[in-house]
Amino acid sequence: MLPLRYYLLAATVAVVLVGPVAAQTAPAGADGQSTPVRIQTSLTFFLPGAVSGDELPQKIDQARKIVYQLAMRECETLRSTIARDCKLESVNSNIRQTETRPQQLQQPEGYHVSGSIQSVITLKPQP
């Protein structure tokens, strides 16, 4: 299990954009609740660690796993708040290594990780 701080960090920087799906597959009901809605969540975080040597593949895998675990949790979060149904549509992850150089002593070695998660939901009925 990954440390809670990674989840909290990703959650605090996540930006959620909500909009209707371009190609609607279900007709909207009288209350509009059956219309699919696309949710896009963007995240970014820093993962400290060596950027060379034998640890490199494991660190890159760890960064990607964090993004994928957050993607799995995204539908759970949506279902507990606004979604009746949720389908994960796509996940994107980008990892950039940062090495410490003599002129950059304040910046630790590690990985800047960014990603996006796209889901399609059906809204819960409004009370």
CA of 117: how far to CAs of 101, 106, 110, 111, in Å?
33, 31, 23, 19
* CA angle centred on 59, ends 11 and 40, rounded to 5°: 30
Q: What does each of the 127 residues of the chain score in pLDDT, given as a tens digit? A: 445 444 434 443 443 333 333 333 444 455 556 789 999 999 999 998 877 778 788 889 999 999 999 999 999 999 999 999 999 999 999 999 887 665 656 778 889 999 999 999 999 998 7
Contact between 45 and 10 under an 8 Å Cβ cutoff? The reply is: yes
Enumerate the domain spans of the chain. 4-123
Rg (CA), the chain: 18
Question: Which residue is it, tokens 């809204």?
Answer: 123
